Amino acid sequence: MQNAIISLTSNNIQQTSTPQKNTQQQQILQKDVQQTNSAFLLRASAVLCVLLLMMFTLPLTYAAEPVPVPEPKSKPGQKSAPSEVPLTMAPNWSLQDADGNQVSSTDFAGKPLIIHFWATWCPYCKKLQPELERLYVKYQEQGLQMIAISLREDEDAKPQEALNARGMSFKTLVNGDQVAMDKFYVRGTPTTFFINAKGQVVVATRLSDPNDPRLEQVVKSILVK
């Protein structure tokens, strides 16, 4: 009888210990799952932060950095032009203003020059132009020259009148599509060239931020003889 009691007691101990083991295993399993979920959430958060940082900083970097103007693609049968090669020397060109007066690159020979390619419908051009005007007026006495070239305009567009209405004192040439795209390889507006007195293109940029201090820095650089 005593053996039976001992055996029964042992069975009871085994039976009661089994749920305890199951509970411990479940707790360990839940802890592992929680740790795994936490690690996953941390990694996902880190990846999301990196993606958001790239979304906000890359466009700003692209918009602010001066970019080389690529050579145009060659026509069939011609040798392919090198891609993304910066224009090092300003080409020769000739255009007319709104009054039919002929203006050419030779008029600016030996002088530091800003050439601003733009269009009346371009909001980024309008945003940038007051700063270009400020720099032009500020450094004009030091020999700085500036000319705008309008392109891709509607037939009824009046670029010079548009500039005058905006309070700009620099002049614009009109119908500059061919010169812009074939000579300077412009692919969008605004595109602004900063050329020194030797005719070297120091910077060609799609920058439209009028508050970027590098605009004045590059103007100062092309004034150095």
pLDDT in tens, 120-132: 999 999 999 999 9
| 3-state SS class at 86 | coil
Is 208 found in the same domain as 134? Answer: yes
Least confident of 63-67, 83-87, 181-185, 218-222: 63-67
> Alpha carbon of 156 to those of 97, 150, 159, 170, 198: distances in Å?
15, 13, 10, 21, 37
pLDDT of residue 91: 97
Tell me, what CATH number does 152's domain have?
Answer: 3.40.30.10
> Alpha carbon of 171 to those of 54, 74, 215, 224: distances in Å?
39, 32, 19, 24
Domain housing 136: 94-223
Is 116 found in the same domain as 41? Answer: no
Is 121 found in the same domain as 159? Answer: yes
Is 211 found in the same domain as 100? Answer: yes
Number of structural domains the chain divides into: 2
How confident is residue 225, by pLDDT bands cut at 50, 70 and 90? confident
pLDDT beyond 60 at 8: no
Is 29 found in the same domain as 116? Answer: no
Higher pLDDT, 185 or 84: 185
Rounded mean pLDDT, 50-79: 39
Q: Is residue 215 a part of any domain in this protein? A: yes
pLDDT beyond 90 at 36: no
pLDDT of residue 23: 65
Is 207 found in the same domain as 125? Answer: yes
Is 165 found in the same domain as 109? Answer: yes
Q: Is residue 87 a part of any domain in this protein? A: no
Rounded mean pLDDT, 39-60: 52
Tens of pLDDT, residue by residue over 22-34, are 666 666 656 665 6
Rounded mean pLDDT, 126-148: 98
Is 216 found in the same domain as 123? Answer: yes
pLDDT of residue 17: 47
pLDDT beyond 60 at 159: yes
Is 14 found in the same domain as 119? Answer: no
Least confident of 50-59, 65-74, 140-149: 65-74
Q: Is residue 85 a part of any domain in this protein? A: no
Q: For residues 114 and 210, give the distance between their C-alpha atoms in angstroms, rounded to a whole number.
A: 15
Q: Is residue 83 a part of any domain in this protein? A: no
Q: Is residue 148 a part of any domain in this protein? A: yes
